[in-house]
Amino acid sequence: MSASITIERAANSCVDRLRRYRIEIDGHIEGLISRGETLSLDRPAGPVTVRARIDWSGSNMWSADLADEAHVTLVVGREENGYGLTGLFSRDRYLSLVPKPKHAACLS
């Protein structure tokens, strides 16, 4: 009884291009992700909370109750959140963490 979570970070982003984001799941650091990388993690089915962190700031929390055999893809980035410099002084608005649109491959 497991599920999987994949986190993607765009390769074309210039913001934080030399920095790695920490990926936290249920409050524990599960990995680091650099520009253009993908991180895939197997998790037990059930409730899960995911967040990306950098220094004192980070992203919104994304929560779900994952079904057995579920696969979720999340996209982490800086440009998507629209907060500009105000996000720099926030604990949860510098980065955005959102589900990848199901038809994203068709949008490229």
Task: Specify the number of domains making up the chain.
Answer: 1
State pLDDT tens for residues 64-106.
Answer: 999 999 999 999 987 554 555 555 555 666 888 999 987 555 4
Mean of pLDDT values over 13-32: 88
Mean of pLDDT values over 6-20: 82
Spatial separation of the C-alpha atoms in residues 59 and 98, rounded to whole Å: 9
CATH number of the domain at 42, please. 2.60.40
Please determine, for residue 4, whether its predicted confidence score (pLDDT) is greater than 50: yes
Dihedral sign from CA coordinates of 29, 17, 79, 106: negative
- Provide the domain limits for residue 18: 2-107
Q: Give the containing element (helix H, strand E) for 105.
A: helix 104-107
Q: Looking at residue 108, what is its pLDDT?
A: 43
pTM assigned to the model: 0.82
